Amino acid sequence: MSSVEIKDLCVRFRVYDKAAGVVSPDGAGVFSQRGNSHHWVQALSDIDIELAEGQRLGIIGRNGSGKSTLLKVIAGLLPPSEGVVRIDGQVSSLIDIAHGMRIEATGERNILLRGMIAGLSKREAKERISQIADFAELGDYIKLPVRTYSSGMAMRLNFAIATAFSPDILIVDEWIGAGDLAFQKKARERMQELIDASGALILASHDLELVERMADRVLWLDAGRIKALGPARDVIEHYRDTVES
């Protein structure tokens, strides 16, 4: 069983920098002020979403509109300021896959640590090492510290670890591709497998064709509010028209 239920969600960031502004870009979270000293950015307001088993939700919107913030709240990385987020099922997020890589540790050690972070026991994580290392195609480099890797190799390792476990609810911020041309093809296939295996998908992207292909419903965020929520094709068409006009 996997479902996500979000009710009246608001997220506010306190701005601690002294010179907080009042002007934010069109479509981004808006500044607000309480008293003389408290500055806030209202990142998300009044978000209501329900996602049931097997549904695929796409999130679109301009830069700063709150897409990543919403994903982070669902992934449990940011607390809601108001409202309730109810999650049923194992959530796995590919939001910033580079987080949690230790460049001084070997590739193998990183797989072990990240496996344990993902909730595996040490023994279970150990058992996955060879499989993940094979996918990353790093050969004996897997026994060297990550700092000796080329950036493409590090990305491949990251991708291999991040996509090694199939969760109930998959959260993806921008499509992740990694490595050279040959690996990119493999990465695409892996992402597709992961999506097919997951109970529900939430994908934020600027690639409208991708969103239309992957999602059956689309949420359009603007300035932290729901501008539209409905069948993928309709919402994306509406979004295109607005941007182009």
User: 3-class DSSP state for residue 205?
Assistant: coil
The residue among 94 and 211 lying less far from other proteins, judged by its C-beta, is 94
Instruction: Name the minimum Å distance from CB 191 to other proteins.
Output: 13
Nearest to 203 by CA among 78, 70, 56, 99: 56
Q: How far apart are CA 94 and CA 7, in angstroms?
A: 23
Site for other proteins, residues 166 to 185, rule: CB under 8 A: 167-168
The answer to whether residue 45 forms part of the interface with other proteins (CB under 8 A) is: no
CA distances from 125 to 101, 131, 149, 223 (A): 15, 11, 22, 41
Instruction: Name the minimum Å distance from CB 70 to other proteins.
Output: 13
The answer to whether residue 164 forms part of the interface with other proteins (CB under 8 A) is: yes
Q: 106: which DSSP letter?
A: B
Instruction: Name the minimum Å distance from CB 15 to other proteins.
Output: 10
Identified binder of other proteins from the candidate list 38, 99, 188, 213, rule CB under 8 A: 99
The residue among 114 and 156 lying less far from other proteins, judged by its C-beta, is 114
Site string for other proteins, 123-162 (x = CB under 8 A): --------------------------------------xx
- Binding-site size, other proteins (CB under 8 A): 50
Q: How far apart are CA 196 and CA 180, in angstroms?
A: 24
Instruction: Name the minimum Å distance from CB 238 to other proteins.
Output: 30
Q: How far apart are CA 109 and CA 98, in angstroms?
A: 15
Q: Could you tell me the end-to-end alpha-carbon distance of the chain, in angstroms, rounded to an integer?
A: 42
Q: Please name the residues in contact with 232: beta carbons below 8 A apart, sequence gap of 6 or more.
A: 58, 211, 212, 215, 216, 217, 218
Helix axes 151-162, 107-117, angle to 10 degrees: 30
The answer to whether residue 79 forms part of the interface with other proteins (CB under 8 A) is: yes
Identified binder of other proteins from the candidate list 90, 137, 195, 225, rule CB under 8 A: 90
Identified binder of other proteins from the candidate list 20, 32, 55, 113, rule CB under 8 A: 113
Summarize as ranges the residues that interact with other proteins (CB under 8 A): 10, 13-14, 73, 75-100, 102, 104-105, 109, 112-114, 116-119, 121-122, 161-165, 167-168
